[in-house]
A and B are shown apart, each in its own frame.
Chain A
Amino acid sequence: MDKHKKNISFIAISAVIGFMIAIQFQTVKKPVERDTRDLWQLREAVLQEKELQSELLSEIRSIEEKLLAYESKQKRSKEQALLDTIQELKIEAGMTKVTAPGLILRIEPILEEIQVGAEISTSVSPELLKRLLNELNMYNAKYVSVDGQRIINTTVIRDINNETKIDGHALSRLPIEVIVAVDHIDTAEKLYNQMKASKATEEFFIENLKLTVSEPNPEISIPAYDNPIRIRYLESLKANEGGNT
């Protein structure tokens, strides 16, 4: 009996030791992750990080400026500082009318087809429109409206009963206008050139539509977003949540 007990404790303790050794072994011997990126991939990664860095820096700067403004305004007028912030946020969310340099893209049916008398396309497919908007965003378009509907971050473009709708509003019949505005006339010029060189025109042509890009206009106005913005899944972050990134 005593010997049996002795054996059990020996086995148990040596099993624990073995377990510990195995864990230690696994901890120390980590698989070596090899970096297989070549020079250009590395350069791209560096570029991305640098862009991120500069973005973050500018964000920090703007926030610091705001902080400074709050501090200096606090004594004089807390209300004004808050109103300014609300206004700023409204502009950012697209709830204000914007007048800025920009250009107008016209989407219309192809003229040749009208003459032939074939069935002409009467609407733009949501996919095409999304593609165009993505492209515009890629070229730094700041404020966009399609057929008088302001496009904001939460805008949905979809097909409901064979009608393309933007945030629930149906697009009117062709031709429709896509108004794009940016912050500076130089950017507008750049956007114009990029749009002229882009494939969007061909993509519209495949769907029997013609996309015309107007010359940059120094003063162009974009309507405000007129629906209420509903926030369903967003919650305010508490100070001790969400990590520090």
Chain B
Amino acid sequence: MWLPLLGLIVGIFLGLLTDIRIPEEYSNYLSIAVLAALDTLFGGIRAHMQNIYDEKVFVSGFFFNILLAASLAFLGVHLGVDLYLAAVFAFGVRLFQNIAVIRRILLTKWSTNKNKN
């Protein structure tokens, strides 16, 4: 499953080439959106490995999570509460969980392959 990595590299390359900068006050929103997107991506990889992957869930989750995270951050700014921390926390925890699951699956696959050999 090297495709996400390839896409990531292509995206980073494109982003660096275009030399786009966003105003500093919006960088908070972008960072939290990146976090949400990463969470969705790892969720998708995990689902793919567990064979419960659903295209619609994946794509809609991607956009919905980003929007939710950004609007949470926006609301937080206007309420004077650091609400984006909630999003950071939620996505962070899920990111770790997903990565842990992926790691376990990979480990199991590896050990079964080894046993077969």
Contact = CB atoms under 8 A, between A and B. Distances in A.
Contact of A18 (B8, B19, B22, B58): B8
B83 interface: no
Given A6-B55, A15-B8, A26 B16 contact: yes
A46 interface: no
Nearest to A17: B37
A22 interface: yes
Interface in B59-112: 59, 62
Interface in A21-38: 21-28
A11 interface: yes
Given A11-B6, A14-B5, A15-B8, A24 B16 contact: no
A26 B55 contact: no
A6 B47 CA distance: 12
A15 B7 contact: yes
A67 interface: no
Nearest to A12: B7
A16 B14 CA distance: 10
Given A9-B58, A15-B11, A26-B19, A20 B34 contact: yes
A75 interface: no
Given A11-B7, A13-B7, A18 B55 contact: no
Interface size on A, as a range, is 20 to 34
Interface in B1-57: 3-16, 19-22, 24, 27, 30-31, 33-34, 37-38, 40-41, 44, 48, 53, 55
Given A11-B7, A15-B8, A15-B14, A23 B21 contact: yes
Interface size on B, as a range, is 35 or more
B81 to A, nearest CB: 23
A20 to B, nearest CB: 5
Contacts of A6: 48, 53, 55
B21 A27 contact: yes
Given A13-B59, A23-B20, A23-B21, A18 B15 contact: yes
Contacts of A14: 3-8, 11, 41
Interface of B: 3-16, 19-22, 24, 27, 30-31, 33-34, 37-38, 40-41, 44, 48, 53, 55, 58-59, 62
Given A17-B38, A23-B22, 5 more contacts: A10-B7, A13-B37, A22-B11, A22-B13, A24-B27
Interchain residue pairs A-B with the least CB separation, the first 5: A18-B11, A22-B15, A14-B7, A15-B11, A11-B7
